[in-house]
Amino acid sequence: MRNYTFVAEFVLLGIPNTESLKHLLLALFLVFYIFTLLGNLLIFLTVLTSSTLHTPMYLFLGNLSVFDIFFPSVSSPKMILCLIGQRCIISYEACASQLFFYHTLGGTECLLYTVMAYDRFVAICHPLRYMVIMNHRVCTGLTLGTWLGGCLHGSILAFLVFKLPYCGPNEVDNFFCDIPVMLPLACADTSLAQTVSFTNVDVVTLTCFFLIITSYSRIVLSILKISSSAGRRRAFSTCSAHLISILLFYGPVMLIYLRPVSSPWLDSVIQVLNNIVTPSLNPLIYTLRNKDVKLALKKMLTQMVYTSGT
């Protein structure tokens, strides 16, 4: 048996080669994070309070808004504190929690986008049976399934990574704890953890992506059969916001986890895009591209202004 002196904390090094840009990064992180919280909270409250949005499509959109509040909160507050000037130290337990919640929420988003693609498939390809197929029981089961599936995904990865001994060095070459930067710090053989964890990520990501592509292939074929150009535009408009969000999510994920060779600087930049920028854009995407959400949001804000004025 070897004697290990286990580390109790890790040092977050942040984004490599950006020491002279701390003030700029602090401003950008802070603005994007505040905008993300406020924008997604508005979308969630709009879906919750507007009776016209109590449909399966907007139930999933409300869940996406909740996700986009939690997901950047895994890493952004700690990074903002580091940029302010506090020591970038994170405890072993907090590091494990970051990795768990990051992959739990990431897995949940993969599954949620897949469910949303299925919802659009049923709405466009089987419009007369839509409310029968996507009934309240089915929607509730799909919603719970996305969160439970994401939790299982995150639990497996966190267990694999943090059952390994960490006895130094303890410098994390990123602004939060993730698999690619944690495994090189382990003082034991990481081949099993690396194989299983990346296979897990790849299987979840690629399976969901394949199902989404399949759904949208069927959707496109159905739309092309619509005789009127106005009907085709209306059908495409209901899917465009979802497609934009999918591209913004899956692009960074595939660049990080499906590349054979990692680059700390490039990975950090892509993580910033995935963790902070994309969640802040979803409220804009769904409000600018969706007439129902815009009308409900305008009505809710008008009522809030009127109530506060009286």
Q: Collapse the DSSP code of 137 into the 3-class scheme (helix H, G, I; strand E, B; otherwise coil) and give the result.
A: helix
Most confident of 11-25, 73-87, 131-145: 131-145
Residue written as token pair 């401003």: 27
pLDDT at 271 over 80: no
Confidence (pLDDT) at 226: 75
Instruction: Quickly list DSSP for 47-101.
Output: HHH-GGG-SHHHHHHHHHHHHHHHHHHTTHHHHHHHHHTS--EEEHHHHHHHHHH
Strand, helix or coil at 165?
coil
pLDDT given for residue 309 in this prediction: 63
pLDDT computed for residue 259 by the predictor: 62
Between 129 and 231, the higher pLDDT residue: 129
- Look at residue 244 and tell me whether its pLDDT is greater than 60: yes
Q: Can you list the domains of the chain with their CATH numbers? A: 9-309 (1.20.1070.10)
Tokens of 110: 């993969």
Mean pLDDT of the chain: 83
Mean pLDDT of 116-139: 90
Q: Is residue 4 pLDDT above 60, yes or no?
A: no
Give yes or no for residue 99 having a pLDDT over 90. yes
171 close to 13: Cβ distance less than 8 angstroms: yes
CB 88 within 8 A of CB 11: yes
> pLDDT band at residue 52, thresholds of 50, 70 and 90?
confident
pLDDT of amino acid 104 = 93
Distance CA 71, CA 65 (A): 10
Q: List, in order, residues 6 or more apart from 212 with CB less than 8 Å away.
A: 113, 114, 117, 246
Query: Is residue 229 over pLDDT 80?
Result: no
Q: Return the beta strands (E) in 69-204 as ranges.
A: 89-91, 171-172
Strand runs (DSSP E) across the chain, as ranges? 9-12, 89-91, 171-172
What's the pLDDT at 238? 67
**Tokens, residue 19:** 């020491």
At 110, which amino acid appears?
Answer: C
Enter the tokens of residue 143. 């919603």
Q: How far is CA 276 from CA 71, 137, 216, in A?
A: 8, 33, 27
- CA 35/CA 286 separation, integer angstroms: 15
At residue 1, does pLDDT exceed 50?
no
Neighbours of 18 (CB within 10 A): 15
Question: Tokens at residue 132, please?
Answer: 């029968």
Structure tokens at 117: 């693609």
CA angle 138, 142, 144 (to 5 degrees): 120
